[in-house]
Amino acid sequence: MILVTGAAGFIGKNLIRRLDNLGYTDICTYTRQDPEDVLRDCCEKADFVFHLAGVNRPESVDEFMKGNADLTERLVSCLEKAGKKCPVIISSSTQADSEDPDNIYAASKRKAEEAVYGYGQKTGAPVMIYRMPNVFGKWSKPNYNSAVATFCHNVSRDLPITVNDPERMMRLVYIDDVVDEFAEDMRSISEGRMPEGCGERCTSLRCPIHEAKLGYIAETIQSFPKMRGELGIPRMDDPLISKLYSTYLSFLPEDRFAYKLKMNEDNRGSFTEFLRTPDRGQMSVNISHPGIVKGQHWHDSKNEKFLVVKGKGLIRFRKIGCEEIYDYHVNGEELTVVDIPTGYVHCIVNEGDEDMVTLMWASESFDPEKPDTYREEV
């Protein structure tokens, strides 16, 4: 039995879903709304504990000790009374190392850490005390979990955001990376392989920690909405930007999931750009009516890929300066990608009796100042 406290919280919800996806179904949950006997009953059954419950933005400072230190001490007491020596992973905060005597939150987190550490020392149970930096990702709460959550919530709703100190350096960790590490720790401990930091007073995350200025984070998130109109997407090869974009999309209001594209239509069918990127080219959807021939041109530097997903088509090539023609018959039943090389005149013909739909990728986004398209028939 796996006990997860704080099951309704940001990290708790993500961890439970990850454990479920990994095949762990015997999970007992505890939230602040549950009566005390639920915690006691779960501790009696538990073989492993993820202690994620805590308070970080209470209405009264008194709640810091109640929700962090006192709850953890009750958890440890329940485990000891049940005669348990089960492993415990606790999520604490990097603020726990604060020496500010007025930082009640930090003090409450340190006291919670001490309770778990003492339980490990007394019983010999493996314990891991993670001091977490700013965690962000799906299902986080604006104005509660992190600045990223607040920025994503507001920007996705055209609301203003406030950046008090743009130069402030932030340390961020993505929720999926966190729960992956937690699940791996549980697996390792269950197999008798103690992860690095197990049994120590605090443990550093092994998963990627991202560092960026607060102003940069805000500007990056603010850039996402206008990308729809430009048919763009962020740089997916930048791990932080990719994770911020995923988080931003998770905050979209339900009436903003979809957006329309501009269809360029004529008597031949239509051509619609779908995505434009500065470094990965352009994706488009081409619809051709029966019997229609499109193309009849060639490119100097731009290369393309054609994929017919509906209907029947004929793709024809001829190398510039040569007479030999190469024919490729394609259809939506046997998906086949055809590369369109530079220096080859090409066209695509709808050979069927229904509209033919072709996905087209070009290595360069179309630039009207430099179209790189020269008319010539195959």
pLDDT tens-digit readout, 261-294: 999 999 999 999 999 998 899 999 999 999 999 9
Q: Residue 375 is inside which H or E element, if any?
A: strand 374-375
pLDDT tens column, 155-171: 999 999 999 999 999 99
- From the number of C-beta atoms within 10 Å of its C-beta (0-12, 13-18, 19+), residue 26 rates as exposed
Q: What pairs with residue 27 in β-bridges?
A: 2
Per the CB < 8 A criterion, the answer to whether 174 and 132 are in contact is: no
Decide if 259 is catalytic: no
Query: What are the residue boundaries of the structural domains of the chain, listed by start?
Result: 2-219, 264-375
266 to each of 5, 111, 263, 289, 363, how far by Cα in Å?
A: 60, 71, 10, 10, 25
How far is the C-alpha of 211 from the C-alpha of 184, rounded, in Å?
24
pLDDT at 316: 97
Q: What is the CATH number of domain 264-375?
A: 2.60.120.10
Which of 191-205, 301-315, 345-359 shows the lowest per-residue confidence on average (mean pLDDT)? 191-205
Listing DSSP states for 211-243 in one string gives EEEHHHHHHHHHHHHHHHHTT----TTSHHHHH
Which of 96-105, 189-198, 347-356 shows the lowest per-residue confidence on average (mean pLDDT)? 96-105
Q: Which of 41-55, 185-199, 306-320 has the highest mean pLDDT?
A: 306-320
For residues 336-345, give the mean pLDDT.
Answer: 97
Tell me, what DSSP letter sits at residue 17?
Answer: H
pLDDT at 348: 98
pLDDT at 84: 87
Of the pLDDT bands very low, low, confident and very high (cuts 50, 70, 90), residue 228 is very high
Of the pLDDT bands very low, low, confident and very high (cuts 50, 70, 90), residue 33 is confident
How far is the C-alpha of 21 from the C-alpha of 16, rounded, in Å?
9
For residues 172-185, give the mean pLDDT.
Answer: 97
For residues 24-39, give the mean pLDDT.
Answer: 91
For residues 104-112, give the mean pLDDT.
Answer: 88
Helical packing angle, 239-250 and 214-229, nearest 10°? 60
Alpha helices in the chain (DSSP H): 10-21, 36-45, 62-64, 71-81, 104-123, 147-155, 175-190, 214-229, 239-250
pLDDT at 68: 86
Which of 98-107, 138-147, 198-207, 268-277 shows the lowest per-residue confidence on average (mean pLDDT)? 98-107
For residues 204-208, give the mean pLDDT.
Answer: 92
The first and second tokens of residue 215, run together, are: 């102003």
For residues 232-255, give the mean pLDDT.
Answer: 96
Fold (topology level) of 2-219: Rossmann fold (3.40.50)
For residues 83-98, give the mean pLDDT.
Answer: 89
For residues 170-194, give the mean pLDDT.
Answer: 96
Per the CB < 8 A criterion, the answer to whether 29 and 39 are in contact is: no
For residues 64-91, give the mean pLDDT.
Answer: 91
Of 24, 30, 105, 130, which is the active-site residue?
A: 105
The first and second tokens of residue 119, run together, are: 């339980």
User: Secondary structure of 256-318 in the HEC alphabet?
Assistant: HCCCCCCCEEECCEEEEEEEEECCCEEEEEEEECCCCEEEEEECCCCCEEEEEEECEEEEEEE
Backbone torsions φ then ψ of 177, nearest 5 degrees: -65, -40
Helix, strand, or coil here: 67? Answer: helix
For residues 343-351, give the mean pLDDT.
Answer: 98
How far is the C-alpha of 259 from the C-alpha of 192, rounded, in Å?
51
Mean of all residue pLDDT scores within the chain: 94
| Widest distance between CA atoms in the chain | 88
pLDDT at 107: 87
pLDDT at 124: 95
Q: Tell which wins on pLDDT, 129 or 144.
A: 129
pLDDT at 60: 74
Residue 222: which of 176, 158, 294, 128 has the closest Cα? 158
Q: What percent of the chain has pLDDT over 90?
A: 84
pLDDT at 101: 78
Of the pLDDT bands very low, low, confident and very high (cuts 50, 70, 90), residue 57 is confident
How far is the C-alpha of 186 from the C-alpha of 280, rounded, in Å?
39
For residues 347-367, give the mean pLDDT.
Answer: 96
Backbone torsions φ then ψ of 70, nearest 5 degrees: -65, -45
Residue 306 has pLDDT above 90, yes or no: yes
pLDDT at 296: 97
How far is the C-alpha of 191 from the C-alpha of 87, rounded, in Å?
12
- With a CB cutoff of 8 Å and minimum separation 6, the contacts of 41 are 28
- With a CB cutoff of 8 Å and minimum separation 6, the contacts of 104 are 61, 64, 65
